[in-house]
Amino acid sequence: MTQPQTQPRTTAARAALAAQTIELPSWAFGNSGTRFKVFGQPGVPRDPYEKIADAAQVHRYTGAAPRVSLHIPWDLVDDFGALRRHAEDLGVQLGAINSNVFQDDDYMLGSLTNPDPKVRRKAVDAHLRCLEVMNETGSQDLKIWLADGLNYPGQDDLRSRQDRLAEGLAEIYAALAPHQRIILEYKFFEPAFYATDVPDWGTSLLHCMALGEQAMVVLDTGHHAPGTNIEFIVAQLLRVGRLGAFDFNSRFYADDDLMVGAADPFQLFRIMNEIVAAGALDPDSGVNFMLDQCHNIEPKIPGQIRSVMNVQEATAKALLVDRDALAAAQRSGDVLGAHGVLMDAYNTDVRSLLADLRTEQGLDPDPMVAYAASGYGERIAAERVGGAQAGWGA
Amino acid sequence: MTQPQTQPRTTAARAALAAQTIELPSWAFGNSGTRFKVFGQPGVPRDPYEKIADAAQVHRYTGAAPRVSLHIPWDLVDDFGALRRHAEDLGVQLGAINSNVFQDDDYMLGSLTNPDPKVRRKAVDAHLRCLEVMNETGSQDLKIWLADGLNYPGQDDLRSRQDRLAEGLAEIYAALAPHQRIILEYKFFEPAFYATDVPDWGTSLLHCMALGEQAMVVLDTGHHAPGTNIEFIVAQLLRVGRLGAFDFNSRFYADDDLMVGAADPFQLFRIMNEIVAAGALDPDSGVNFMLDQCHNIEPKIPGQIRSVMNVQEATAKALLVDRDALAAAQRSGDVLGAHGVLMDAYNTDVRSLLADLRTEQGLDPDPMVAYAASGYGERIAAERVGGAQAGWGA
Amino acid sequence: MTQPQTQPRTTAARAALAAQTIELPSWAFGNSGTRFKVFGQPGVPRDPYEKIADAAQVHRYTGAAPRVSLHIPWDLVDDFGALRRHAEDLGVQLGAINSNVFQDDDYMLGSLTNPDPKVRRKAVDAHLRCLEVMNETGSQDLKIWLADGLNYPGQDDLRSRQDRLAEGLAEIYAALAPHQRIILEYKFFEPAFYATDVPDWGTSLLHCMALGEQAMVVLDTGHHAPGTNIEFIVAQLLRVGRLGAFDFNSRFYADDDLMVGAADPFQLFRIMNEIVAAGALDPDSGVNFMLDQCHNIEPKIPGQIRSVMNVQEATAKALLVDRDALAAAQRSGDVLGAHGVLMDAYNTDVRSLLADLRTEQGLDPDPMVAYAASGYGERIAAERVGGAQAGWGA
Amino acid sequence: MTQPQTQPRTTAARAALAAQTIELPSWAFGNSGTRFKVFGQPGVPRDPYEKIADAAQVHRYTGAAPRVSLHIPWDLVDDFGALRRHAEDLGVQLGAINSNVFQDDDYMLGSLTNPDPKVRRKAVDAHLRCLEVMNETGSQDLKIWLADGLNYPGQDDLRSRQDRLAEGLAEIYAALAPHQRIILEYKFFEPAFYATDVPDWGTSLLHCMALGEQAMVVLDTGHHAPGTNIEFIVAQLLRVGRLGAFDFNSRFYADDDLMVGAADPFQLFRIMNEIVAAGALDPDSGVNFMLDQCHNIEPKIPGQIRSVMNVQEATAKALLVDRDALAAAQRSGDVLGAHGVLMDAYNTDVRSLLADLRTEQGLDPDPMVAYAASGYGERIAAERVGGAQAGWGA
């Protein structure tokens, strides 16, 4: 339990935490729900400008969320230059561009994998349009998550779909600028209920390797089979240099997009421990840390603030691991000792460390309280009257 | 592999199959989908009358689907007597009434378990209204499935919610007529993502026992944790006389409402085997067999026809099990022999037996082909223009 | 994050923690492993006397483990009075008696559920023998976990096995003294691989209710389907007054008997939170808290010490929950607020609180360090030479 | 339901089935069990010679099992030339060599991944010894399954273990003769309970690609997370040319090594459907089809016969799929039609087709009955008296 000489570790942790940034998803500020019901909330944004305004609030109180991912076509605007200036005026930047090829009727049986070549053409074009948006927004990452898959055995040919996918991705990849990347997400299931065309990290990695060095895997913490050891995948992708980004969220069952760290904070710590151990917290590591989650019943801005704080707390604990002691215990085969070193860090209460850091940064030590006291939530509820609230359909 | 003296079994199977009925859900004919997208289909009903017309098509070609469950308020009409006559004119009857207390904004944090007594009052009243509908439709079963639950640990008190649930159910139960039943469904998760208030058969059974003999458990085949042995639960509920109804569907992952028998036909057979072994196929057994599933990407009427056929095929195989040989092998501890007797029945191709039965009943031997040839699908696609297609929201 | 007026809660927590006891399993001190290999460890006990000596070490350093469960026939001795005195001399008591009816060749196809009445007779008699042992040891609880089940569909009749089980349990129950209890454990699967005869809490509860008020359910934290919400079951069993005991351990996958709290410390906290909220930590609540886990690769005595500490830490956090604030947030539907109250307690570092308590109790503040420094481990490794090390076979 | 022109498909199916071979595991004939108990059976082999004699019985009655895998050191003999001749005399051949580096005390914390370089050296040497055996037996495949992994977070460094693994495999690979292969198996979990060093197909594939073209992935049907779509992995590995072998078995829960096809025969059919569709049934495809399963409570030789028959039946159904109709329905987006084509083949009773084929081959049409009538089981039970029965320990 005792941790001699923790002071240097705490100092280093503080510096790393001060440099850590987490990208926010624009769609977290719109309405979301389940197939059973989407519950609207007062004050929800009606357009991308309002989404970014809300995202800027999260950064204002945490100091750690300076970028906002966009979802295209949900976040299409006439003038992305204007949107970009709007963001910068509010102190944030536009981040990754997420392609959406699952909400047009044509995509019912797939997008890049659709048996119909006309639909595949349309899906490729949608991605090329995203690349144009990226050129306008200055975004570097095209994040591709496909809803493609099958609901019934026999519905389509599993292998042909992989070939079509490879072909479509290759055409998109060819249009990348040298500083841009494709980051390819995988998901165990949903909305496809029998087979998903990019169901696991192995499939995503195979496609990335076929594409080239500007293609990287996205790991979404909610997209795995029950029991999957996610930190192992993190370690493996880092080892082969192909972890492009993280989509943070959490879940008890399937992909239910709960706030990161809410379901299994120890798992989040173990994940961040692999990140820290591999040096991947370094802003130059090429790993983009993002939230990708929804707030169905909780208020959205506080939900995002809490999520950022949860990532920070898990990161702080990972930074406090006594790596020399850990390595020594591991080398000597001391199972309980090595486990104990890790648990010592996990069991530490890092909230005051982070509060101090915020104070040092000129922020309120408690972002949740500070945001609540700001009156912003009440203000948008009062002001944003009329118009259609943003949701997954827009 | 050899099955001596199978003739008597085949004859008995034929009689049992001729008597078997499967209730259809009105909502299977409306649009449905996932949180990501609901894909509309041409010809989808705009109101309960059209839903029943479509359901009657399923009965017309299978001869085994003479009842239609309604969902309230989705299927509210001004005159249930007229709806009932409409159904009877088309050769079907109105079946169970399903209460819907999950799509009103008030129910965001629960219905019968809501911390707010006003919402609980409203939820009880919604059920009392369902009982009034039942009196008008002649329905005997009030099927209660609650979306109630929590997304986050701490969000509400697990135990208080059970107490509120018991209280609400008791008030509804007290309003039952002597020939009516509450049938209480359980579900592992979704739409609640941390805790569900009726998550398992044990919880449903405890509430039913507290209510009285007119309360029975509904087993939905898609509502269990991964790996759960469903036929065991069937056997257990039959043993204690509390299996009120079946909701058939299938799934590979979570509750995804695929066509029954599509994901694991052997499991469906094992379930029907317990039903047959316990004599619960008997129409007087008190077990109501219903479909409860959606057709997101496949056409709806053929999807229902196929599902009815899948249940019939599994039932036919279960009826062909050589129960004397099975019991003898079981008694003697002959593991492979007993297993083999069961597999012999499962491996039998029962499609011609069912085709013959249909011919005998004056039906086309192949319901899928006959429906496709009827032109009904094209007709409704052409005729049902304008108006809002029915879906989960209505 | 701020917790005003935490002082009274801390004081109450300290008192509750001082009164908390956790029963140890004698078999945790013997060798254990997987079907692939049992790795022996130096110093492992050769008989029940040595097991109890080791268990007493755990109590010596934690002050919280004053009882030892026995497994019969593994722990059969000629003179249980002598064993009892041996335990008392070492400062501990004999606890629950666990029946073992799975390691005799006769039990290959089941014990109380075996199709062969002679085997069932033998299994009932084995339990009656356990009751005799209980009378000699002063134990109050007969803990029954059955390995009974099926590996293949059709192998035996699911429902008949329930009837046989009920019959066997009834005979055992009839032999209980008024102060004795049957506590009936359930398990999702293993060693049976298709169907288990007591697979879930519902089945255990049904049998207990049929037996009478001296029959209670045992909840083993490792014995559930993936994703099962265990704290819900705890709350439900406490609500109906049938939670007889806890078997603590943890797992990432199936029942792998890792140290409690090692796989998901947040889950352990949520479980203890239900216990505390229901007042079931009270020694008079009738809930017996036990460890039931193995140490395949870690040293056994430290493994048990660590496990006791893990339960203590989770309990301490649960005791620190601000229940008034929690209830207020829950009542007002404040999802994030209520969740936050719970997380505040969980995120608290309680190790110094427990260290202080130990010092107050005259114990070393760090049991792991103190045990390691004692030289006991080295001593038994040196002394226990020759003889057969105890394991699951004895 | 109707299948016009099925005659050519049936003829082709018959030819393919006549050519299909399935390799048997020597260890299936020894005793096996769970961590709770290994139940011995009469007549179980005492040495590799007797194991091969029993395996030859399976081939004698099925005509489809002409090879036997060995496990080293379990099947070490002084003279592998003699063992080879013994096999050939009985009409079978020696197949793949399986390395066993999990039953020596040194391997408690891993073999090729062990933190201790001396243990890693020993584990590499054990594999080099296997290559020597292969040279003596004429085996082409060195099958590597490692029990390596961790039980506790922190116990060892996930990434370092991958590096050590790569290093060890490279040394073994370098010693392969040009006609030999390493085939590397993955497993989700067990006996490691927190992290497994080769847990999924992605990890196995990465190591194979790093090694070279003589390294291929082994897919064991029981080694996946719940819900994993195994046929997708089959299709993917075939697509990239890296499916080296199949380990057939089945399971309801974790890896429980039940008879292939016993738990989910539809899944086995879907798997064989991908094999057939990719032409991988061809003996020149490089895919070695093997059983890897145990018979804990059922007799072993009949258990293997039944398993071979189950694979044959699934293969026969896959061969009967009307691929033109399937492709046409898939191309046109006919979800139910395409699914229906697949199900038509699955629902066909192929037992008489296989019985006819056996008769044509001079075999008894019912291998189970023929073996039972042979008296072999009784003979070995009577003759094999004395000596130690083979099991997982030898």
Q: What is the mean pLDDT of residues A317-336?
A: 98
Query: Is the predicted pLDDT of residue C2 greater than 70, yes or no?
Result: no
pLDDT in tens, D177-203: 999 999 999 999 999 999 999 999 999
User: Residues of D289-324 as b/e, b for ≥16 C-beta within 10 angstroms?
Assistant: bbbbbbbbbbbbbbbbbbbbbbbbbbbbbbbbbbbe
Distance to chain B for C351, nearest Cα, Å: 23
Instruction: State the amino acid at position A187 in one-letter form.
Output: K
Please list the alpha-helical segments (H only) found in A347-384.
351-360, 367-374, 376-383
CA A349 to chain centroid: 25
* A347 and C CB contact within 8 Å: yes
Contact A44, A385 (CB under 8 A): no
Q: What letter does residue C94 receive in the DSSP assignment?
A: E
* B340 and C CB contact within 8 Å: yes
Nearest CA in chain B to A35: B35
- The token duo for C28 is 């945790």
Average pLDDT score over chain B: 96
Residue C3 lies in a domain: no
Best residue in D44, D297, D389 for a mutation probing chain C (most C CBs within 10 Å): D297
Query: Is the predicted pLDDT of residue D44 greater than 80, yes or no?
Result: yes
| Residues counted in chain D | 394
- Chain B and chain C share a number of CB contacts under 8 A equal to 146
Nearest CA in chain C to D264: C153
pLDDT of amino acid C129: 97
Average pLDDT score over chain A: 96
CB < 8 Å to D226, chain B: 226-227
Query: Is the predicted pLDDT of residue B37 greater than 50, yes or no?
Result: yes
DSSP string of A206-267, one letter each residue:
HHHHHH-TTEEEEEETT-S-TT--HHHHHHHHHHTT-EEEEEE-B-SSSS--BPTTSS-HHH
Q: How confident is the model at residue A394 (pLDDT cuts 50, 70, 90)?
A: low
**Chain B residues 180-239 with a CB less than 8 Å from chain A:** 188-191, 193-194, 226
Query: Is the predicted pLDDT of residue C4 greater than 80, yes or no?
Result: no
pLDDT of amino acid D7: 84
Residue with tokens 């069961």: B342
Instruction: State the amino acid at position C377 in one-letter form.
Output: G
Distance to chain D for A316, nearest Cα, Å: 17
pLDDT of amino acid D142: 98
pLDDT-above-90 percentage for chain C: 95
pLDDT in tens, C42-58: 999 999 999 999 999 99
pLDDT of amino acid D394: 56
Residue D392 lies in a domain: no
| Residues contacting C186, CB < 8 A, separation 6+ | C198, C199, C200, C201, C203, C204, C217, C218, C220, C223
Contact C210, C165 (CB under 8 A): no
* B178 and D CB contact within 8 Å: no
> Strand, helix or coil at D219?
strand
| Tally of domains within chain C | 1
Best residue in B3, B58, B266 for a mutation probing chain D (most D CBs within 10 Å): B266
pLDDT of amino acid B393: 67
Query: Is the predicted pLDDT of residue B394 greater than 70, yes or no?
Result: no
Strand partners, A181: A141
D240, D277, D330 member nearest A115 (Cβ): D330
Q: How confident is the model at residue A1 (pLDDT cuts 50, 70, 90)?
A: very low
Residue with tokens 């509060």: A355
Contact C45, C54 (CB under 8 A): yes
CB < 8 Å to D1, chain B: 351, 355, 366, 368-369
pLDDT in tens, D123-166: 999 999 999 999 999 999 999 999 999 999 999 999 999 999 99
D1, D264, D266 member nearest B351 (Cβ): D1
A335, A355, A369 member nearest C298 (Cβ): A335
**What Rg value do the Cα atoms of chain D yield, rounded?**
21
Distance to chain B for D251, nearest Cα, Å: 10
Q: Which chains touch A (3 or more CB pairs under 8 A)?
A: B, C, D
Residue C393 lies in a domain: no
Distance to chain B for D227, nearest Cα, Å: 6
* CB within 8 Å: C236 and B341: no
A162, A224, A236 member nearest D162 (Cβ): A236
Q: What range does the domain containing A290 cover?
A: 16-383
Q: How confident is the model at residue B148 (pLDDT cuts 50, 70, 90)?
A: very high
pLDDT in tens, A137-175: 999 999 999 999 999 999 999 999 999 999 999 999 999
Residue with tokens 């995202």: A55
pLDDT of amino acid D4: 52
Cα A239 from Cα A243, distance rounded (Å): 9
CB < 8 Å to C201, chain B: 200, 202
| Residues contacting C77, CB < 8 A, separation 6+ | C47, C48, C49, C83
Burial of residue B375, with CB atoms counted within 10 A of its CB: 0-12 exposed, 13-18 middle, 19 or more buried:
exposed
Residue A1 lies in a domain: no
C266, C302, C355 member nearest A336 (Cβ): C302
**Chain C residues 301-320 with a CB less than 8 Å from chain A:** 302-303, 306, 313
Query: Is the predicted pLDDT of residue D283 greater than 90, yes or no?
Result: no
Cα A64 from Cα A58, distance rounded (Å): 8
Contact A252, B194 (CB under 8 A): yes
Nearest CA in chain D to B314: D347
Q: Which region among A252-261, C334-343, D239-248 has the lowest average model confidence (pLDDT)?
A: A252-261
pLDDT of amino acid A141: 98
pLDDT of amino acid C187: 98
> Strand, helix or coil at D235?
helix
pLDDT of amino acid A393: 67
* D334 and B CB contact within 8 Å: no
Q: What letter does residue D321 receive in the DSSP assignment?
A: S
pLDDT in tens, B181-203: 999 999 999 999 999 999 999 99
pLDDT of amino acid A6: 75
Q: What is the mean pLDDT of residues C66-85?
A: 97
pLDDT of amino acid D8: 86
* B266 and A CB contact within 8 Å: no
Distance to chain B for C162, nearest Cα, Å: 8
CB < 8 Å to C34, chain D: 35, 190-191
pLDDT in tens, D322-365: 999 999 999 999 999 999 999 999 999 999 999 999 999 999 99
pLDDT in tens, D50-84: 999 999 999 999 999 999 999 999 999 999 999 99
Contact B302, B368 (CB under 8 A): yes
CB < 8 Å to D33, chain C: 35, 191
pLDDT in tens, A86-137: 999 999 999 999 999 999 999 999 999 999 999 999 999 999 999 999 999 9
Residue D11 lies in a domain: no
Query: Is the predicted pLDDT of residue D219 greater than 90, yes or no?
Result: yes
Residue B394 lies in a domain: no
- The whole-model pTM stands at 0.97
Residue D152 lies in a domain: yes
pLDDT in tens, B71-120: 999 999 999 999 999 999 999 999 999 999 999 999 999 999 999 999 99
pLDDT of amino acid A256: 82
Nearest CA in chain A to B188: A253
Nearest CA in chain D to C257: D193
Cα C3 from Cα C334, distance rounded (Å): 18
Query: Is the predicted pLDDT of residue B39 greater than 70, yes or no?
Result: yes
* CB within 8 Å: A298 and B109: no
Question: Which CATH number goes with the domain that contains C44?
Answer: 3.20.20.150
CB < 8 Å to A336, chain C: 298-299, 302-303, 306, 368
D35, D188, D263 member nearest C34 (Cβ): D35
Query: Is the predicted pLDDT of residue B175 greater than 80, yes or no?
Result: yes
Half-sphere exposure of D327 (CA within 13 A, CB side): 6
B155, B162, B206 member nearest C335 (Cβ): B155
Q: What letter does residue D362 receive in the DSSP assignment?
A: T
pLDDT of amino acid A106: 97
* CB within 8 Å: A158 and D232: yes
D35, D151, D253 member nearest C189 (Cβ): D253
Residue A48 lies in a domain: yes
Q: Give, in order, the Cα–Cα distances in Å from C268 to each of A228, A266, C350.
A: 20, 12, 15
Query: Is the predicted pLDDT of residue B122 greater than 50, yes or no?
Result: yes
D303, D335, D347 member nearest B336 (Cβ): D303
* CB within 8 Å: A153 and D331: no
Of D171, D219, C205, C71, nearest in space to B209 by CA: C205
* CB within 8 Å: D298 and B335: yes
